[in-house]
Amino acid sequence: MRTQKSDKFIVTWLLMGAFLVASMVVIGGITRLTQSGLSMVEWKLIMGSVPPMNELEWEATFDKYKQFPEYQKLNINYTLRDFKSIFWWEYSHRLLGRVMGLIFLIPFFYFLVRKRLDKPLLKKLLLVLFMGAFQGFLGWFMVKSGLVNNPHVSHYRLAAHLVTAFFLFGYIFHLALTIGWPAKTTIKSPYYRGALIVLLALISSQILVGAFVAGLKAGLFYTTFPTMNGEWMPAIISKDYSLLGWASLFDNVASVQFIHRWLGITVWVVIILIGVVYLSSLIKKQKTSFWLLLIAISIQALLGIYTLIYSVPIVLAVLHQLGALVTIMAWVYAIHTTRLQAKI
């Protein structure tokens, strides 16, 4: 049986894990925005944790990079100094992934050996472990797609990698809330809870399409708002759809940006409608969590607009990605306030 003291340690450990996942997402975003993601062309779980230590090792690493399409088609003029500038972001991203694995595994085995994990929690932590390992696999699977002919990663694989990270972040934060701040009274609000679940489906879809936008660099096109270079829906969207069908909606920069814009507006309208319908009937804790969620979504929408109209500067783009994490965190807290007598 877990004691109250052990619960505090477990909650702290989980919150640290959620913070590290968020850090991974942010550094991954910077890696993508600085075009650094294909600088490391090998995956070595142990030896890959050690960077080049001298000039000869740097030259050898750079020579490996030269054998792949990104150098040959895009960065043929790169010097060793240029290569180092992109190498360190990808190296930092991978190193943080290794650190995160250790920070999860060492306390996990400690709690397990000391019998501080009951069976329901153990199952959920094993799921976290699996998702973390799968996330690492998806990262390399994504990178591999840019090491063949086209020196750009697949936006579908990027989306899978990013969405999995968001799910892992939200799930760890959910576990921390449930253990550290369990529901003490029965709160019956099934319809409000259902509305929040619908909202999550929209937010998740928006994050998925946002990953498509990032992978296709669609934010560099149509940098006006609310219209797209003077058109509410660019003519090329319907033209490509007539030629290629449904696939064009997720492969065309105009299409994915159009969907991302209107999904964002839909999310904002839906949270407003939820407030209009349910806010007056909510208890104090639920009202607080609703306002936090509304603020997070509103700021995220503004960040998206400004990121677009300023042609995706790194600072705004990273803040926009961070804003999505904050939105997920606010949603998890909001749904937590609707729980019945809480069990993990």
Say if CB 208 and CB 267 are below 8 A apart.
Answer: no
Can the peptide bond before residue 226 be classed as cis, meaning omega within 30 degrees of 0?
yes
Residue 210 scores a pLDDT above 90: yes
Q: Report pLDDT digits (tens) over 56-68.
A: 999 999 999 999 9
22 and 114 within one domain: yes
How many distinct structural domains can be found in the chain?
Answer: 2
Helix axes 80-113, 119-144, angle to 10 degrees: 160
Shared domain for 149 and 243, answered yes or no, is no
- Point out the domain boundary residue: 181, 210, 242: 181
Among the candidates 148, 181, 214, a domain finishes at: 181
CB 153 within 8 A of CB 37: yes
Look at residue 343 and tell me whether its pLDDT is greater than 60: no
- Are 213 and 303 in contact by the 8 Å Cβ rule? The answer is no
Predicted local confidence at residue 216, as pLDDT: 93
What sections of the chain are H helices per DSSP?
4-33, 55-66, 69, 80-113, 119-144, 155-180, 190-216, 235-244, 248-251, 253-278, 284-309, 314-336
Task: Specify whether 139 is located in the same domain as 216.
Answer: no
Residue 214 and residue 148 share a domain: no
Q: What is the pLDDT of residues 302-341, one digit of tens each?
A: 999 999 999 999 999 999 999 999 999 999 999 999 876 4
Domain span at residue 125 reads: 1-181
pLDDT in tens, 90-114: 999 999 999 999 999 999 999 999 8
Are 196 and 169 found together in one domain?
Answer: no
CB 26 within 8 A of CB 318: yes
Q: How far is CA 266 from CA 4, 16, 217, 261, 270, in A?
A: 42, 33, 22, 9, 6
* 133 and 189, same domain (yes or no): no
Among candidate residues 181, 213, 245, the one where a domain is terminated: 181
Q: What is the pLDDT of residues 29-51, one digit of tens each?
A: 999 999 888 888 887 776 667 88
